[in-house]
Amino acid sequence: MYFSSAPARVCLYGEHQDYLELRVIPAAINLRVNVSSYEGKKSMISVFSKDLNQTVKIPIKIQEMSSKNLDFKSYLESGILALKKFSSKIEIPSLDVTIQSDIPIASGLSSSAALLVAWIKHLCGVTEIEIEKEELAELAYHDEHNLLGIPCGRMDQYSSSIGGIIILTCTEPPELRILPKPDFRLIVVDSQTPKLTSQVHGLKVKEIKEVIKTFETQVGIPLNNSSISILEKFSKRFNKKEKKILTGVISIKEDTEEAEKEMLKSDPDINILGDLLTSQQISLRENLEVSIPILDKIIDSGIINGALGGKLTGAGLGGSVVLLTDKENDSTFDSLKTNFKLPVWSVEIDEGVKFTS
């Protein structure tokens, strides 16, 4: 019997920054994808999803994707193909696999990256392939970005693989720093308004990237060295829509830089960290326009009932919110459960991917 597991993540600071090769601060949380298996008898990998109540069968000699659909089977097939490219001599045995997930799908908590990370790690463990966590994160990223064609950044795969809270600069190659476990708690609320990352990215990411390209051409300063003061100096060169997007992106960048400085202190001020969460939410709502009323209502209610700050997590236009609280967060948690009748979790910062046999 083999077992692997990988965590969900929340983006604390740096939403819509990873695909711009900027800095992000995600946290792995204790909602996980769990994969178990034992050796089968046929030349086949049979995978049963408890959550989808669906079984898919994949030939162990698979050479290409069976379809272009972004569905459960495609993720499993892409993981196998990515691993075969990583290790050309791999021989995957027949397996009977069961997958169970605590992570709601399309909730902004990176269920897809967690599935890929847990699945690839599982196959590595079964076939006794040694792979470092950063290698696994890169493999899962290239799998999702290149094989599956999703224009994502590296944040989700690195957070799920490494675990804890990390600072990741999403360059090529990325720069990684692991942060100490902070003295605060997090509450996650699933709005149960599904968002499709591929759709959000397909439209919003393209729009943002075009505006950033215009900015760097017009100003002659790379985005990673920009600031709100520089934007104000050259503001007449941009139309109203461009200025909104630039203000949002650069404000979130500056909030993330401030959060990094605070979290690297020996005794971070959690009130400042909470304020920076909310500051980002304002940028996401007013400038990037990826929030929706239910997300705003949950955040406002959480803050009124004791949370120190909050924001949406994920691409936006649905999904979940994350709220930062002190350790005694029962009253905030209870009020959110009562007011919204939605899935609410008081989550712990969790470890990254793991495998046992």
Classify burial at 3, counting beta carbons within 10 Å of its beta carbon; exposed 0-12, middle 13-18, buried 19 or more: middle
Find the mean pLDDT for residues 290-318: 95
**Domain match, 151 and 194 both:** no
173, 204: one domain: no
98 and 132 within one domain: yes
Instruction: Say which CATH number the domain at 44 has.
Output: 3.30.230.10
CB 310 within 8 A of CB 322: yes
Count of Cβ atoms closer than 10 Å to residue 254 Cβ: 17
- Whether residues 170 and 255 share a domain: the answer is no
Total Cβ atoms within 10 A of residue 105: 13
Give the global pTM.
0.94
| Structural domains counted in the chain | 2
Whether residues 167 and 271 share a domain: the answer is no
Phi, psi of 68 (to 5 degrees): -95, 5
Tell me what pLDDT residue 266 has: 92
User: Do residues 66 and 158 both lie within one domain?
Assistant: yes
Structural domain span for residue 263: 185-347
Would the pLDDT of 200 be above 80?
no
Same domain as 254, residue 217? yes
Q: Do 101 and 193 belong to one domain?
A: no
The verdict on 82 and 175 lying in the same domain is yes
Both 226 and 169 in one domain: the answer is no
Considering the domain architecture, whether residues 208 and 72 belong to the same structural domain is answered as no
Q: Is residue 301 predicted with pLDDT exceeding 70?
A: yes
What confidence tens digit (pLDDT) does each residue in 49-106 have? 999 999 999 999 999 999 888 899 999 999 999 999 998 888 899 999 999 999 998 8
Query: Which helix (H) or strand (E) element contains residue 50?
Result: none
Looking at the structure, tell me whether residues 173 and 191 fall in a common domain.
Answer: no
CATH number, residue 321: 3.30.70.890
